[in-house]
Amino acid sequence: MQPIGPSGDVGLIGIAVQLAACVLVAVLILGLRRQHRDRGYFALWSWGWIAISIAIAAVAVRYHVVPMVATEPVSLSTGPLVAPLHALYQAGKLAFFGFLLIGIVALTRDRPAAPRDRLAVVIAAGILGVASVAVTRDLNQLVMVQAAIAVPVLLGSIWQLTRLPEERRHPGLRVFLIGLLLLAAQWTLYVPGFARAGLPIDSVWGRMLAFMTSYNSFLDAGVLIVVGIGMALVLVEDDHHETAAAQAARVTLESAARARLGGILAAAHDGILTLDATRVVDLANPAAALLFGHGTDSIRGRPFDRFLGESDRAPLWDALATGTRRSEANPPAAVRREVVGLRESGDAFPMELSVSSFGEGAERGWVLVVRDLTEVIRARDDQERVMTQLAHTARLEAVGRMVSGVAHELNNPLTAIMAFAQDLAAAARSDEDRDALTVIVQQAERCRVIVGDLLIFARSRREERRRVAPGDLVSRVSRVFGRESNRHQVGFDVDVAPDLPPIEVDATGMEQVLTNLLTNAFQASRPGGRVSLAVSAADGRIVFEVADSGPGISAEAMPRLFEPFFTTKGPGEGTGLGLSVSHAIVSQHGGIIDVDNGGSSGGARFRIRLPFVERRHGDPPVAGAAADQARPGRALIVDDEPAIRVAVRRSLERRGWQVDEAADGAEAWLRIDVGGRPADFDVVITDLRMPGMSGIELVDRMRAVHPGLADRTIVITGDTASPAVAEFLGRLATPHLQKPFDVRQLIEIVDRVRMGAQP
């Protein structure tokens, strides 16, 4: 047993291999001993194998375990555990040779060894082991001590075996002798080999000895296996019990197979049962018992039909009775189907049942595999529901794209209609004409809201936030619902607290939210009821409150009120988008919308809380602004829609502006760039999507060549869905309006740009 040195990994592996070999042979010898307790020599040999296994295990602990648990590095000769382990190793090896010798003596003399002989071997081995370690802890020197004892013992054992009579010299004895001869030769060579350990290798003899000492554990393992096999053969051939040994092995194998089958049945997730010819449960694994709500034992002896839905019993057994057989020699019938299972409690559940028959006649039986399909069917239903939702979402996306296109196409004519109507209404006309134009403007505003709803539905409308007074929002919305009040015969109260701070919102979006809430309130209120819209300031927020006198919202509907496509209205009366879109718009503004049934008349009450903008002093006038206002302003309108150009031009000209027009970006550039200098336009109003040079290209060129004029540019567009337009508006530093827009809002921005104020 060479200490771990330069070839430490080889030594560690060798120790493990030698230990495995010793344990393997020890197990073999002990197993044979159980069958031959009257063979005294074999009992002695089994003690020897136990001793050598303990010895090798001590070395294995020394080199494999001690270094891992030691708090400090362990040397070859120090440490509190090293000396006891070395002593145990030395005593175990010496005991092996002692039991080997007295066992062979018992074999040759055909008499068992006395108990005192075994005790003498143990005591002698222990004394020699302790004494050896007391002298030296070097394993090389300990091995040489072992060799000094082992070689005479082995030679004496061989001499004893050769004295056996001829009739007992069977092949097993020859194998045993060969193993002992190899062991004696090996230990003889260990003496010079371990004596030269650490010295230079200068010859073939030295290399051979170095090889033996480096791989001594492997050599020991191989030779010890030969010795162990020889011992086993000696026993088997000497006792002539080969048949009994083979039968024992078959019994052991059969028991293992039976245990393995039982383990497989117990570990199976699916229920497995066997039925006899009368369809009574003969065997059931734990999964089957659990499935039907029984114990494993209590389910046995019960008719299986008790656990099968009544409507499935006759069809199942009829199908098995007429089932196609796989062969004439082995004619089982099989069927697999989904049936209704019954638990012990009587509860029904979906079950998959696979049935196969075995045997014939009175020996006929059935093997059943059952599986609970409750979760499978639930998952299947969930999958179908998800697929339906995906298909619905895909249809909505397709509709959204179509709606977006239609909405954008409506933007330009709506812009022109609103502009012309507002321009005509501003002129002095008869009351009848003024009323008619007011209706046109109101209906155009209504169309504008509808277009906005469509764009929000298609998620392609861009927010345009600006600072507005809460009262202005309420005023615009309440004018529309004044007529709704008369139509529904419902009172309408509006209460706006005085001196409210402004809020920075997308006015169109917030108008839509209030419109949705008021529409629902009027629809929920019965004739004679009341709807109220109140605005106040509380806790740093502007609070819009819409209340009605309707029946309120049910407890079942309350948690789902803001879900898309959820509606309490009848078919064709609502899409279920109004409140979900309102919730999204309020959330985008950093606000909160909630609802309860705390209205003054017991109806529903919606509250919107939005952050307001701190009041600021007015911006100081820009130097020269008065002079600029004294002269007529000059504007350039760029749009490929003639109606929009005419409408905007008329509105500006009524305010004293001089207006030029251009149908695309290229024509506009010819009017802007005059010999490398910018024309004296106070403001440029341009669309973005135009044939030829687009508004994006025009604005970018002005930024590069005439940045001052680019800063006085107002963008109007009806397309915010395309990525290019969205990216451009994201980096735009100049004001922009979404078509269709209110011309008065455009005029307000034009005046601001001319004065040099930021919108």
Long-range contacts of 50-54, Cβ-Cβ distance < 8 Å, separation of 24 or more: 50/26, 51/91, 51/92, 51/93, 51/95, 51/96, 51/99, 51/125, 52/22, 52/26, 52/92, 52/93, 52/95, 52/96, 52/224, 53/19, 53/22, 53/23, 53/26, 53/92, 54/88, 54/92
Q: Would you say domain 463-616 falls under CATH 3.30.365.10?
A: no
* Class in CATH terms, 625-755: alpha beta
Q: What is the pLDDT of residues 303-312, one digit of tens each?
A: 888 888 888 8
The closest alpha carbon to 125, from 96, 147, 152, belongs to 96
Residue 325 gets which letter from DSSP?
P
Instruction: Give me the helices (H) in 36-114, please.
Output: 40-60, 66-69, 82-109
More confident residue, 562 or 707: 707
Whether the model clears a pTM of 0.85, i.e. scores above it, the answer is no
What is the domain class of 8-250 according to CATH?
mainly alpha
The position carrying tokens 């809020």 is 503
Looking at the predicted structure, is the pLDDT value of residue 543 above 80?
yes
Q: Which residue has the higher pLDDT, 330 or 493?
A: 493
Say which residues have a Cβ less than 8 Å from residue 392's Cβ, sequence separation at least 6.
Answer: none
Question: Measuring CA to CA, how many Å separate 129 from each of 79, 100, 153, 571, 574?
Answer: 18, 17, 17, 99, 98
Long-range CB contacts for residues 393-402, cutoff 8 Å, separation at least 24? 400/457, 400/458, 400/459, 400/460, 401/458
Of 271-280, 584-593, 614-623, the range with the lowest mean pLDDT is 614-623
CA distance 641 to 85: 102
Which residue matches tokens 């008719």? 303
Strand partners, 503: 468
CB-CB contact of 248 with 35 (8 Å): yes
Mean pLDDT of 683-706: 89
Task: Specify the domain boundaries for CATH 3.40.50.2300 within the chain.
Answer: 625-755
Domain with CATH 3.30.450.20 in the chain: 268-372
Question: Over 70: is that where the pLDDT of 629 sits?
Answer: no
Average pLDDT over residues 254-281: 82
The predicted model gives 450-462 an average pLDDT of: 56
Q: Of the ranges 43-47, 265-269, 667-671, which one carries the lowest mean pLDDT score?
A: 265-269
Distance CA 451, CA 414 (A): 10
Q: What is the DSSP string of 606-626?
A: EEEEEEPPPP-PPPPPPTTHH
CA atoms within 13 A on the CB side of 578: 19
Greater confidence (11 vs 332) lies with 11
Q: What are phi and psi of 576, to 5 degrees?
A: 80, 10
Give 104-118 pLDDT, tens digit per residue. Answer: 888 777 777 677 887
pLDDT confidence tier of residue 669, bands split at 50, 70 and 90: very high
Q: What value does the mean pLDDT take over residues 28-38? A: 74
* H or E element that contains 659: strand 658-662
Is residue 404 within 8 Å of residue 460, measured between CB atoms? yes
CATH code of the region 268-372 = 3.30.450.20
Of all residues in the chain, the percent with pLDDT exceeding 70 is 77
**pLDDT tens across 5-17, in order?**
334 566 678 788 8
User: Would you state the pLDDT for residue 622?
Assistant: 40
Cis peptide, bond prior to residue 740, ω within 30 of zero: yes
For tokens 């001793």, the residue is 51
- Beta bridge partners, 541, equal 538, 611
Higher pLDDT, 172 or 229: 229
Please give the share of the chain, as a percent, with pLDDT higher than 90.
3
pLDDT of residue 241: 41
For 354, phi and psi rounded to 5 degrees?
-115, 125
Residue pLDDT, tens place only, 462-520: 566 778 888 888 888 887 787 777 777 888 888 999 888 888 888 878 888 888 888 88
Residue extent(s) of CATH 1.20.1070 domains in the chain: 8-250
Contact 531, 521 (CB under 8 A): yes
Q: What number is the average pLDDT over the span 423-436?
A: 67
Contact between residue 470 and residue 535 where contact means Cβ atoms under 8 Å apart: yes
CA gap 92, 19 in Å, rounded: 13
Q: 461: how many CB neighbours lie within 10 A of its CB?
A: 23
Q: Rg of the Cα trace of the chain?
A: 51
- In the prediction, which pLDDT does 453 show? 58
